């Protein structure tokens, strides 16, 4: 297990931690300002959201690399299933953006159950069919796709994958080398079968997302905790993730409309470094 107490070069910022995933949230820093601030603090990488990038993917990606960091990922594809599913063209456009940005990974949040279906089986079949099309296109663009299981409270409207085991089963049905999983503390901390599930994920973990689960969370989407403020066993989870061979960046992704998004970004970035070294 890597020692982060004296080295935080494996730390990456997901810009959602500054509110950049939602219009009108956070301090509204430009990508350039975020890049410079993270580079000054020794971050190893950044993960952006599509809404920040627009038609500037190449420019922004080049600036990240010139600063000495990596573009660790891009969030996210449009949904592949459910009432808000995107078109094939929209999903391909997200792959194109990731490729232009030079992002190592494009995250997939699947979307919920398809209209006029009940249970999960039919939706999972449709998800697999759509993934077959898009993993091939992503491979041609040299982009990895990471399926992210979500906490079961998001089942129905945001996801049809709710455990690592669910996600690995879909990954294995398709078997593409550029299709893997993203493990997010917020979504898996509760799952006591996680160590056993991750035994089947060797070589397939493409992302690891850090935050915490607050004991008295007030909003299931927008009240995540900063690492160390909640009840998740962060080091135990990372230990299991690293047993799969994962040695990539650890991406801090904290949705926090009433707390961290209201603080000065400089303060947030400094706290992240401190917490990463102390508790992650």
CATH number of the domain residue 93 falls in: 3.20.20.150
- Whether residue 2 is contained in a domain is answered as no
What mean pLDDT, rounded, does the chain reach? 97
- Whether residue 179 is contained in a domain is answered as yes
Q: In DSSP terms, which residues pair with 207 in a beta bridge?
A: 182
- Whether residue 1 is contained in a domain is answered as no
Query: Which residues does the chain have with pLDDT short of 50?
Result: none
pLDDT of 182-199, one tens digit each? Answer: 999 999 999 999 999 999
Q: Residue 114's domain spans which residues?
A: 11-279
Give the chain's domain count.
1
DSSP character at residue 86:
P
- Whether residue 34 is contained in a domain is answered as yes
d(CA 113, CA 159): 7
- Whether residue 205 is contained in a domain is answered as yes
Residues 46-66 as b/e (b if ≥16 CB within 10 A, e otherwise) read bbbbbebbeebbeebbebbee
Dihedral sign from CA coordinates of 218, 223, 226, 230: positive
- Whether residue 81 is contained in a domain is answered as yes
Q: Which helix (H) or strand (E) is 59 found in, with range?
A: helix 57-66
Helix, coil or strand: residue 203: coil
pLDDT at 64: 98
- Whether residue 3 is contained in a domain is answered as no
Distance of CA 119 to the CA centre of its chain: 26
């Amino acid at each position: 297990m890597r020692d982060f107490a004296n080295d935080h070069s494996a730390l990456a910022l997901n810009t959602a931690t500054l509110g950049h995933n939602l219009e009108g949230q956070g301090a509204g820093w430009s990508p350039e300002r975020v890049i410079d601030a993270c580079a000054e603090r020794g971050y190893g990488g950044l993960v952006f959201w599509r809404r920040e990038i627009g038609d500037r993917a190449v420019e922004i990606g080049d600036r990240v690399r010139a600063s000495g960091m990596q573009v660790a990922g891009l969030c996210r594809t449009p949904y592949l299933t459910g009432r808000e599913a995107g078109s094939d063209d929209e999903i391909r456009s997200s792959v194109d953006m990731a490729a232009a940005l030079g992002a190592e990974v494009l995250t997939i949040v699947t979307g919920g159950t398809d209209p006029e279906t009940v249970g999960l089986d039919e939706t999972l079949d449709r998800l697999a069919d759509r993934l077959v099309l898009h993993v091939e296109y992503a491979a041609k663009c040299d982009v990895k796709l990471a399926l992210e299981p979500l906490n079961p409270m998001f089942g129905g409207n945001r996801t049809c994958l709710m455990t690592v085991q669910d996600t690995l089963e879909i990954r294995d049905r398709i078997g593409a080398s550029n299709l893997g999983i993203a493990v997010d503390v917020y979504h898996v901390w509760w799952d006591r079968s996680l160590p056993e599930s991750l035994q089947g994920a060797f070589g397939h973990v493409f992302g690891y997302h850090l935050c915490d689960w607050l004991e008295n969370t007030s909003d299931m989407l927008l009240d995540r905790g900063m690492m160390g403020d909640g009840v998740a066993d962060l080091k135990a989870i990372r230990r299991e993730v690293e047993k799969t061979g994962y040695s990539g960046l650890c991406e801090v992704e904290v949705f926090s409309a009433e707390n961290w998004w209201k603080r000065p970004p400089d303060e947030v970035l400094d706290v992240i470094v401190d917490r990463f070294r102390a508790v992650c």
